[in-house]
Amino acid sequence: MPDLMIILKLFTSFLVIGLFSFGGGYSSLSIMEDMMVNKYLFLSKTEFWQVVAIAQVTPGPIALNCATYIGAKKAGMLGAIVSTFSVIFMPILLSIILIYIYKISSKNDIIRDIFQNLQKMIPFLIILSLFSLARDVISDFYSILILALSFLFIFLFPKISILIKIISCGAVSLLILTIVK
């Protein structure tokens, strides 16, 4: 039986994460990291970015995948269900409210204005997660080498699907690290 406190914490933290995940995916990661690593100490920083990496190579929205994975890791099946449900709860609630508002009147400049300004902060959230992820990854010469190769892979071949590129980066990293360590 998983700890009820953990379930409750998962529920409240993913509720907040869902509410502020403007722009979906990558922009919700810095808030999620702050909640999971700094506030609730559910995972270490390295573990958190490991989960993100796994979410990246699995089908489905990245924020949703991270929530399910962290929930499962902390509290099994029940944790997974609670986290997944709570991360989408606020977006669903806001969608329903917005549908009703648009039913009453189709002109809502102030609502659009508020959300547009929140949307404009997406680059800020993404830069934060980049900083944190880079700090976690960069340690020695080989890590910088693999990072540089990854940038080449991702940026040089626009025709190849992103998933294939990411998996090849993993393969290259496996090769290099197995040889040198």
Residue 77 in contact with other proteins, rule: CB under 8 A: yes
**CA atoms of 161 and 154, how far apart (whole Å):** 10
Kindly tell me which of 4 and 135 has the beta carbon lying closer to other proteins.
135
- Residue 55: closest CA among 163, 175, 165: 163
Q: How far is the CB of 1 from other proteins (least distance, A)?
A: 19
Residue 12 in contact with other proteins, rule: CB under 8 A: no
Q: Which of 3, 121, 157, 160 binds other proteins (CB under 8 A)?
A: 121
Angle at 51 between CA 48 and CA 53, to 5 degrees: 115
Kindly tell me which of 6 and 136 has the beta carbon lying closer to other proteins.
136
Q: What is the DSSP letter of 20?
A: T
Q: x/- binding map, residues 80-119, to other proteins, per CB under 8 A?
A: xx--x---x-xxx-xxx-xx--x---------xxxxxxxx
Q: Which of residues 145-164 bind other proteins (CB under 8 A)?
A: 146-147, 149-151, 153-155, 161-163
Number of residues in the chain: 181
Other Cβ atoms closer than 10 A to 133: 18
Q: Cα torsion at 7, 13, 16, 20 (round to 10°)?
A: -130
Query: Which structure tokens are listed for 26?
Result: 């990558």
Q: Which of residues 127-146 bind other proteins (CB under 8 A)?
A: 127-131, 133-134, 136-137, 143, 146
Q: Which of 2, 6, 45, 73 binds other proteins (CB under 8 A)?
A: 73
* Residue 83 CB burial class (10 angstroms; 0-12, 13-18, ≥19): buried
Residue 15 in contact with other proteins, rule: CB under 8 A: no
Q: How many of the chain's residues bind other proteins (CB under 8 A)?
A: 98
